[in-house]
Amino acid sequence: MPLYDVHAHLTHDRLLPDVAGILERAARAGVTTIVSNGLNPADNEAVLELARCHGAVKPALGLYPVDAVLASMRQAGEDYPDQRETWSTDAAVGWVEEHVDQAFAIGEIGLDGYWVKETFWPEQELAFRRLLELAIQTDKPVIIHTRKRELRTLEMLEMLSVKRVIWHCFGGKVALARDIAARGHYFSIPANARRSEAFTRMLQTLPRRQILLETDCPYLGPDKSRPNEPANVTHTAAYAAELWGLDADETNKQLEDNFVRFFGVAP
């Protein structure tokens, strides 16, 4: 049965030089669909180019919550470790609006209160709102990144009645994840689940029909000493089978059904 990765960063500097090998290893592992998430206009362009060249790659076009306000942060003298290019919020959101017809999903988007100080939250929320409204208008699913702002993210999703939602690498309390799942949202579990108490609890307690697989590669792999890659979703599927008391075929069928139900297409 096919497997998939709904949140990867194949355009990352650590992965792109070996992307052909990464995709070959993913195919050998049974991974037929990889949703590569964009972070900003330049990264979105790279994601689109990769998707044009490789049928297994599906483009998620988005605006990382820090990138949404990075120009303002730097203008105010705030530090951020990644020295990538900056855009105005309007230009970055406008890019996604112009290219949304090519998007498999809108993502990753959301709110960040870890790197971003409260001064910049209104600007960040404006970008998030515009992208959520775009997803509603175009009937695209959204892939959420939120850090330290889970409740406000949920509040905005509820306010706009956004229904097709994946919470990627959820970092809030597991009790909140269960509350969110009760509203019909999905969660993608990364490949480090076996060594994460929180992700283990999510696999054990969230509805199985709302679980998806991700890697967030090159991060959050099963082996901390090596870059993560899409083939490693097999580790998460195997761990889910153990926790659910199912065999591999039953587990993979459940996960495939979840993917089809959420995206409306087979992986």
pLDDT tens, per residue, the chain with 267 residues: 899 999 999 999 999 999 999 999 999 999 999 999 999 999 999 999 999 999 999 999 999 999 999 999 999 999 888 888 899 999 999 999 999 999 999 999 999 999 999 999 999 999 999 999 999 999 999 999 999 999 999 999 999 999 999 999 999 999 999 999 999 999 999 999 999 999 999 999 999 999 999 999 999 999 999 999 999 999 999 999 999 999 999 999 999 999 999 999 988
Query: Total structural domains in the chain?
Result: 1
Query: At 137, which CATH number?
Result: 3.20.20.140
pLDDT of 192 reads 98
Q: Which helix (H) or strand (E) holds 59?
A: strand 57-61
Question: What's the rounded Cα separation, in Å, for the pair 157 and 140?
Answer: 14
Do 89 and 126 contact (CB within 8 A), yes or no? yes
**Spacing of C-alpha 175 from chain mean position:** 21
Q: What pLDDT shows up at residue 84?
A: 86
Domain that holds residue 258: 3-263
Q: H/E/C letters for each residue in 110-170?
A: EEECCCCCHHHHHHHHHHHHHHHHHHHHHCCCEEEEEECCHHHHHHHHHHCCCCCEEEECC
